[in-house]
Amino acid sequence: MLEKINHIGVAVRSLDEAIPFYQDILGMAFKGVEEVAEQKVRVAFFQVGESKIELLEPTGDDSPLAGFLAKNGPGIHHVAYEVADIEAAIGKLVTDGARMIDTVPRNGAHGARIAFIHPKSSNGVLTELCQMDH
């Protein structure tokens, strides 16, 4: 069902402050910034091998990410796994007893269709499924 790690999401307070570390210090290939209005975040992507690092900045105090940062501070927010058929993956997870945040895919960055598994089902790790529109 899972094909590979698509990206690791890292919560940051400011993309402008965080980008130089990943781009200049770590030397990752910067792939640009995109706003995902539906999730109230701005994201910056970096390529590393076949996977990416996604920095996430809240766009307002009402962003769920703002709540995450207030509670946990900056750091790893989620792990995203690529799947070929997101509806089938959601169906299997639900059948197997996983608690889903999204039982219907929604739109994510880069044209991906995404769904999150509740961290209570995944040992405290917010887990994202993403189907890329190749």
Residue-number span of the structural domain to which 95 is assigned: 2-131
The 10 Å Cβ neighbour count of residue 81 is: 17
Under 8 Å between Cβ of 34 and 110: yes
CATH of the domain at 84: 3.10.180.10
For 78, half-sphere exposure in the C-beta direction (CA atoms, 13 angstrom radius) is 20
Residue 125 has pLDDT above 80, yes or no: yes
CA distance 93 to 90: 5
Q: Name residue, tokens 């790893």.
A: 76
**Which two tokens mark 42?**
């701005």
What confidence tens digit (pLDDT) does each residue in 30-44 have? 999 999 998 899 999
- Kindly report the pTM of this predicted structure: 0.93
Under 8 Å between Cβ of 7 and 55: no
Percent of the chain exceeding pLDDT 90 equals 93
The domain tally of the chain equals 1
What confidence tens digit (pLDDT) does each residue in 60-99 have? 999 999 999 999 999 999 999 999 999 999 999 999 999 9
CA distance 63 to 38: 10
Residue 134 has pLDDT above 70, yes or no: no
